[in-house]
Amino acid sequence: MIKFENVYKRYPGSKEALANVNLHLDKGEMAFLTGHSGAGKSTLLKLITLIERTTAGKLTVGGNQLDKVKSYSIPYIRRNIGIIFQDYQLLLDRTVFDNVALPLTISGFSKHEIRKRVSAALDKVGLLQFEKYLPVQLSGGEQQRVGIARAVVNKPAILLADEPTGSLDPELSKEIMSLFEQFNQVGVTVLIASHDLALINEMNKRIIRLEHGKVIS
């Protein structure tokens, strides 16, 4: 599902952020990406979501070879990937419902279908009763669950999360992780960047360690 082959990423005027990365995630696999700050976790995720382009090497995600993708097709490729951010990235002037509905609106689903899918996604993360609230009226953990609902509402094949529990306490973090596990159980490929080693060791999943832009295990 996600395949890095000899991938390099160099930012202008600095040394390599990623060097010769080889990595393969199967369809339906769940893995954690870990390493120190600056090890290249975020860069790796940015390459998958096409926020950054590879400097060299071959990167295939969901059958698309990303190093060959033209910029006008980027939006369509991103629709197949659910992204979850550390700072949630919710639209603060819109209700929880509208936030979760955004990916469906973008893809052009009918109102009826949007209502159905958003309700299902909110129900899944346990926030159905908050659909009319604004994000600021919710706690951090709840806001992150809105972010997750938004990421999965489009039924993407891949779920990416960048430090999803970075600003949550351990209890809430566990809840969030078990949510990811549930999505993985229905066949979604999940890749989570996190440096919360205690938490990810508990999850008993594949752990990919990055150091100075290289995969070390």
Partner 1 sequence: MKTIIKTKKAQLRQSRPGFFTIIQSFLLSHWHYFTATMSQLSKTPVSTFMTSAALGIALALPAGLYEMMLSVQKVGNEFDNIHKISLFLKPDVSQEQAQKLQIKLKSSASISAVEYKDQKQALEEFKEFSGFGDAINALNDNPLPQVLIVEPSLMYLEPSNLEQLLVTLKQNPEVKTAQLDVQWLKKLFSLISLAKTGVLVISSLLGLAVLLIIGNTIRLDIENRRQEILVTKLIGGTNSFIRRPFLYLGIWYGLLGGILAIVLVDISFLIIKQPLSTLAELYQSDLLTLNSTEISHNIELLTISILLGLLGALIAVNQQLKKIEPT
Task: Give the list of residues 6+ apart from residue 20 with CB closer than 8 angstroms, or none.
Answer: 6, 7, 8, 57, 214
Q: Is 129 in the site for partner 1 (CB under 8 A)?
A: no
Q: Is 78 in the site for partner 1 (CB under 8 A)?
A: yes
In the complex, the smallest distance separating the C-beta of residue 91 from partner 1, rounded to whole angstroms, is: 5
C-alpha 35/C-alpha 20 separation (Å) is 16
C-alpha 116/C-alpha 111 separation (Å) is 9
Cβ-based nearer residue to partner 1, 147 or 215 = 147
Q: How far is CA 38 from CA 177, 211, 213, in A?
A: 23, 8, 8
Residue 130 is given by DSSP the state G
Q: How far is CA 13 from CA 6, 10, 16, in A?
A: 21, 8, 10
Q: Is 105 in the site for partner 1 (CB under 8 A)?
A: yes
# binding residues, partner 1 (CB under 8 A)? 25
Q: Is 75 in the site for partner 1 (CB under 8 A)?
A: yes
Cβ-based nearer residue to partner 1, 190 or 200 = 190
Binding residue (CB under 8 A) for partner 1 from 6, 22, 107, 185: 107
- Joined together, the tokens standing for residue 20 give 């010769």
Q: Is 216 in the site for partner 1 (CB under 8 A)?
A: no
Q: What's the burial of 212, exposed, middle or buried (CB within 10 Å: 0-12/13-18/19+)?
A: middle
Q: Is 4 in the site for partner 1 (CB under 8 A)?
A: no
The tokens 């819109």 sit on which residue? Answer: 94
Binding segment for partner 1 among 31-39, 100-108, 135-143, 195-203 (CB under 8 A)? 100-108
Cβ-based nearer residue to partner 1, 73 or 201 = 73
Q: How far is CA 205 from CA 2, 107, 188, in A?
A: 17, 33, 14
**How many residues would you count in the chain?**
217
Binding residue (CB under 8 A) for partner 1 from 150, 163, 165, 176: 150
Q: Is 89 in the site for partner 1 (CB under 8 A)?
A: yes
Q: Is 197 in the site for partner 1 (CB under 8 A)?
A: no
In the complex, the smallest distance separating the C-beta of residue 53 from partner 1, rounded to whole angstroms, is: 12
Where do contacts with partner 1 occur on this chain (CB under 8 A)? 49, 51, 75-79, 83, 89-91, 102-103, 105-111, 113, 150-151, 154-155
